[in-house]
A and B are shown apart, each in its own frame.
Chain A
Amino acid sequence: MHRFHSISVVISLFVFWLVLSGYFTPFLVTVGLVSSVLVVLFAHRMSVIDREGHPLELRAGVWSYWPWLVVEIVKSAWTVSKLIVHPRLPISPTMMRVKMSQTSAVGQVMYANSITLTPGTISVAIEGDEILVHALTQAGAEDLAGGEMDRRVSACEARA
């Protein structure tokens, strides 16, 4: 375990403490810092803290991936909303398998969660290197099968 990684976990926990507590007296800030350090120390001894719980190595990639994902979410949410209020409900639900090219577990989770987060597609199950996806419309399924999201997640993973 790298020292840099542990320090980053301590800082995240400390910021979380500060935001939740809202008191900035010296005593309480010290208590918060000490308890963050202690939590990370104990977690090390129990070896429950690992790369997956705090995937610091993704920090370079997500800043280009998240804005794109937000735009995708807004676009597909708008499409799904139009489908819902459409009088004839023109949906064509499809189940399909999508290849994923990610190698690490974190990258695969990121891809599956991105699929679920976008309205109109849901990852139902993961089988080997394929994701079983339920799409609300044929067009959405073809969009996903085009593989742009897969490429972008892989690029984000590769920048680690």
Chain B
Amino acid sequence: MPRPIANEPSAAAAPPSIGKIFTAFALIGISSFGGGLVAYLRDVVVDREQWLSKDEFLGALEIGQTLPGLNSTNVAIIVGRKLRGPRGATAAALGLILPGVAVLIILGLLYVRFHNNPDVAAALAGVAAAAVGLLLQVTLKIGGRSFLRPKDLMFIIPTFLMVGVFHVSLAATLFLLAPIAIWLNRPESLKKKAPAPSSDPEP
């Protein structure tokens, strides 16, 4: 029987069962063709099941985007944990991932078997060319006005060159650039301590 546990239940109601969590996320995992998973997650978690309020969901998304890993699986982990602790998080993540994995097992086996067939190779060339367009569109959409801001280009271009062209390892690139980028965006309170152009007296 589902029994309320003390892991930050978001509402007064008893948290959903593990099976219910798995099913809800598996439905997203199986129906979300073409990306944009966060929107699907929001629909189910906030609107349909009302497990999280709008603000709680935005909070979860903020964490999910800041931490490494896929935004969608990170959000699933956070929502699952809030509902049912470790087992809830596991059920949510597996629910989200497994349907796609099942589809990919089939696609993968077909690919391994037929990728040398000229018909299939021609279709795959089209599919791959389309995937590049999709990735570029997402990049331009997320990048938006960053591509016009010198302060952002100062990091976009070196990152692109280091990782994309010169194959500097991702770890090295992140450790070199991220501290500078984060420092340049440091909290205002710390900026005041730095020598400012105004006539602040030395501390």
Q: Do A and B make up one complex?
A: no
Residues of A with Cβ closer than 8 Å to B? none
